Structure formats: structure tokens, C-alpha cells
Amino acid sequence: MTRMPDSIRHTLRAAQHPARAVPCPHCGAHEHQPCTTPSKRRLMPQPHPQRVSNWVQIVACCPACQVEPGVPCHENGWPLRNGDTHPRRHIEAQETAA
Ligand SMILES: [Zn+2]
Ligand SMILES: [Zn+2]
């Protein structure tokens, strides 16, 4: 891959984070709606990590634990804590979305 770092940064900073395609389990934001702070008064500049994990899990397979899209990450057969996903899967998902 010879993708320019600038294009990746641009994707991450874009007004609509690709993770907004899924609802947020943390703050309850609906699909395509931005995440909000617990008080709901302020919008979050970035989606909650849990939302990003959900999105990553849906769109990408994991290079670390070899699961297919839609399947949660695991470590030696055990699910990751808090439904987390491997960092390498996040990179994979961002390249899919770019
Ligand atoms: Zn949220
Ligand atoms: Zn994984």
C-alpha cells in the first residue's frame, strides 16, 4: 500500500466519521448521528471508542485474530474485554472506508 498519510488523516478528520454508519452503544446516538457527551449538550468531535469498535467489527476482517466481518475479535478463543477490537483491525477498517 502506498497510500499518502495525508489522505488517512483527512479521512479521520472529515466531518462525518465512517463509524457513524452504526449506532453508538455508549451514548445512544442513532445511525449517521454524531456522538454526544453524557449530558447530551455537546457533540463529540470523534465517535466513542465503543462505537468505532462496533463499526470496525462490522466492516473489516481482523488481521490479528483472523475473524471475518461481523465476528467479534478474540484472543486465544476468548472475546476481547469490553467487546474491543484489535488495533490492526481498526487500520483495516479505515483503509476499507477510505
Ligand atoms: Zn457515542
Ligand atoms: Zn482481532
Alpha carbons 88 and 98: distance in angstroms, whole number? 16
**Whole domain around residue 67: which residue ranges?**
5-97
Q: Residue 42: nearest ligand to its CA?
A: 1
Q: pLDDT band at 98, cuts 50/70/90?
A: confident
- Res 7: pLDDT: 52
Is the pLDDT at 11 greater than 60, yes or no? no
- Res 19: pLDDT: 95
Tens of pLDDT along 31-84? 999 999 978 688 988 999 999 999 999 999 999 999 999 999 999 989 998 778
CA 1 – ligand 1 centroid, Å: 31
Tally of structural domains, the chain: 1
Task: List all residues 6 or more positions away from 42 whose beta carbon is below 8 Å from its beta carbon.
Answer: 36
Residues with CB under 5 A from ligand 2 (ion): 62, 64-65, 73, 86
Alpha carbons 62 and 82: distance in angstroms, whole number? 17
- Res 70: pLDDT: 95
* Alpha carbon 90 to its chain's center: 6
